[in-house]
Structure 1
Amino acid sequence: MWAIARTELKKNIQDKGLWFWTFVLPIVFIVGFVTVFSGDESTSQQEIVTQIIPGYTIMFAFFIMISMVIAFVKDRERGMVARIASTPVPIKNYFLGKWLPFMIIVLIQITVLFGFGIVVYDLPMGDPLALILLSIMLAFIVTGWGMAMAVLVKTENMGIALTQVIALGGALLGGLWMPIEIMPDLVQNLSKALPQYWALDGYKEILLEDGVIGDVWLHSLFLFAAGGIGGLIAYFAYPRFLRQSRS
């Protein structure tokens, strides 16, 4: 497991495109949208940054699924999956080895983007323990869903397209682009079924309302459950994924 994790982490560190999508582009979006909406005198600067910075952090966290799809599909096409299956390495070790590096990358991404917000825009930090818990759960959901998608899709392009639907569609309906309160009632009701809504609402509870772990336990539980479902789908879809692997 650890050998797989080290190899995967090393490959991702060397992938300049991943770092662009993970850090550079989110910061560009944050700076651009904070600049645009700072001219709105009806909304305070604190409300603007606590909507935009967590919102775009959550949205871009979901794009890690593209990298996960590419990693799994390449393993399948190169016969790596078949070779690993012929060894005594348990399935769970393969999944854990592939999953851990992406989990670490998402947590670093969240830390960097929130740190940028704190330094540049004086983003309120809130309770550190609550932030850590919610951030771990956010990383868990996006990587859990990433694993599920990676073993289900047939091609990289299909995975990229589905990731865009999940990331951008979830951002729109989950209130990441604009406050959910100003949306139609139907959208507000639909949004409560999305992890993006629960992640953003949890961050706003911590940052704006000085929430602690007890205030975001339901948000964390929802994200954990959704991520766990993704992991289970990946586990049970593995035999099909293995049959598609080149020998």
Structure 2
Amino acid sequence: MHKLWASTYKEFLLLTRDIGGLAILFLMPLFLVVSITLVQNDTFKTLKETKIPILLVDNDQGEVSKTIQENLKNSPLFEVQLQSSEASVKELVRTGKFQLGIVIPKNLSKDLNQKVAENVEGILEKFGEKEESIPLVKSKLKSKEIKLYFDPATQFAFRNSIKSGIDQMVSKIETQTIYKAFQDELTEDSTENFFDAEPFLLFKEIVPSEKAIIPNATQHNIPAWTLFAIFFIILPLSINMVKEKNQGTFIRLRTHPVSYGTFLGGKTVVFLGVALVQFALMLLVGIYFFPFIGLPKLDVSGKLPLLFFVAFFAGLAAVGLGLLLGTIAKTQEQSAPFGATFVVILAALGGVWVPVFAMPKFMQVLSNISPMNWGLNAFYDVFLRNVGISEVLPEIALLSLFFAVTVVISVVYNERKNTV
């Protein structure tokens, strides 16, 4: 125990004497999580709170186009600006000044009413007559196109959501027109509505938990980027180990009756403490600083013990990876670039950059080997799904096993290298 304490104290002194390294370890992750959350939160506000200006050319000037205009103006997403020509809309959208332009074709209302009237009349003529005696007459009217001009830089998901929304709106207008045509044919009283045009099938969003939680940018970014920061400690950890080998410190340590496991144990205690301090700072930023700058507050009520439990084992996994890299690397030029690149790869696979469900199938399978994915799933379970300790045990077991395997490999590799 005395040897472990001496090794730990030595690592603590080395760490505290590097003021620049401490600043990078603790301040850079805070700047990272604040900036990323600000960007994503503003993106959510753009979609939910701020109306997107769009251009509209009404070549119809009829009832249908007026209904489309009203629906767009009443939408919480759009701010409609009328234009006189399709050419001006095309140019404004092409240059990126507007994200969307809509062009309503000529005679849309007239042709739609005519086509509906033809269909209704054909259906009503079949009542009381033999079906074979009335041939099916296809309308000579051509389909109308509502043109949508999108900014070339607009994301594909945004385009699909806009097209889906406009398609639903146009379908509703067509349905109402059909109901109205039937009513005009069947009754002389146009003021009486005997067709119920209200939708029968509705969607209700249900959160499958006792306490409903609406995820926000804070709840997604704090665990993701905290995990990213925790795993980035493999850089200073591995660099310190390489320095000790190159400066001869490690050789002097080997002259003392201290095992390599004790040597690694001191580093584990210190850098695990660093990981937990990083996590605590991230939580404090989410709880106190985020509301001050207008971001959603992080809710950790009743979750702190389980959150630190997950952070402890996530820190162990990160430390184990750093110990392995520091054991194998011979120079700082090997450890630093490889460590930084490898952490980014693990983050990409783990779902920090892009959600796992949005990845290709092959990448989704590959993400299961990333310790960041295990830690992120455990954090999301606690933050968003209100689970207990039993539900996060599978991820905890994987993180623990990862630490144990990396430490064993480090010890075996060191013994073989020094034996030969």
Q: Tell me if structure 2 keeps the 8 A contact 1:129–1:212.
A: no
Query: What stretches of structure 1 of length at least 5 have no aligned partner?
Result: none
Q: Tell me if structure 2 keeps the 8 A contact 1:137–1:223.
A: yes
Is 217-226 or 97-106 further displaced after alignment? 97-106
Higher RCO structure, 1 or 2 (CA under 8 Å, sep 6+):
1
SS in 2 for 1:6: helix
One-letter code aligned to 1:184: P
More strand by share: 2
Q: CA deviation at 1:70?
A: 1.6
Do the aligned partners of residues 69 and 129 (structure 1) sit closer, same or farther apart at CA in structure 2, a change above 3 Å counting? same
Aligned to 1:35: 38
**What are the superposed Cα offsets for residues 172-206 of structure 1, whole Å, 9 maximum, x if unpaired?**
12111232222222222211111111111110110
One-letter code aligned to 2:409: I
Q: Tell me if structure 2 keeps the 8 A contact 1:144–1:230.
A: yes
- Residue correspondence of structure 1 range 33-72 to structure 2 within 5 A: 33-39=36-42, 40-41=44-45, 46-72=215-241
Measured on the aligned residues, the alpha-carbon RMSD in Å equals: 2.0
Q: CA deviation at 1:97?
A: 1.8
Do the aligned partners of residues 242 and 124 (structure 1) sit closer, same or farther apart at CA in structure 2, a change above 3 Å counting? farther
Decide which of 270, 282, 287 is 1:113's aligned counterpart.
282
SS in 2 for 1:192: helix
Query: What stretches of structure 2 of length at least 5 have no aligned partner?
Result: 49-212, 291-296
**What are the superposed Cα offsets for residues 42-85 of structure 1, whole Å, 9 maximum, x if unpaired?**
58984311221111111111111111112111211222222222
One-letter code aligned to 1:124: D
Distance 2:417 2:323 in 1: 11
One-letter code aligned to 2:380: K
Aligned to 2:19: 16
Q: CA deviation at 1:128?
A: 2.3
Aligned to 2:375: 199
TM-score (norm 1): 0.91
Distance 1:80 1:243 in 2: 19
Is 200-209 or 81-90 further displaced after alignment? 81-90
SS in 1 for 2:369: coil
Aligned to 2:244: 75
Q: CA deviation at 1:242?
A: 4.4
Do the aligned partners of residues 86 and 14 (structure 1) sit closer, same or farther apart at CA in structure 2, a change above 3 Å counting? closer
One-letter code aligned to 1:176: V
Identity %: 23
Aligned to 1:166: 342
TM-score (norm 2): 0.55
Decide which of 214, 219, 222 is 2:398's aligned counterpart.
222
- Residue correspondence of structure 1 range 229-244 to structure 2 within 5 A: 229-240=405-416, 242=418
One-letter code aligned to 1:198: W
Distance 1:88 1:33 in 2: 48
- Residue correspondence of structure 1 range 76-225 to structure 2 within 5 A: 76-121=245-290, 122-125=297-300, 127-225=303-401
Distance 1:212 1:176 in 2: 23
Distance 2:270 2:315 in 1: 11
How many residues are matched? 244
Do the aligned partners of residues 234 and 105 (structure 1) sit closer, same or farther apart at CA in structure 2, a change above 3 Å counting? same
Distance 1:71 1:242 in 2: 19
One-letter code aligned to 2:338: L
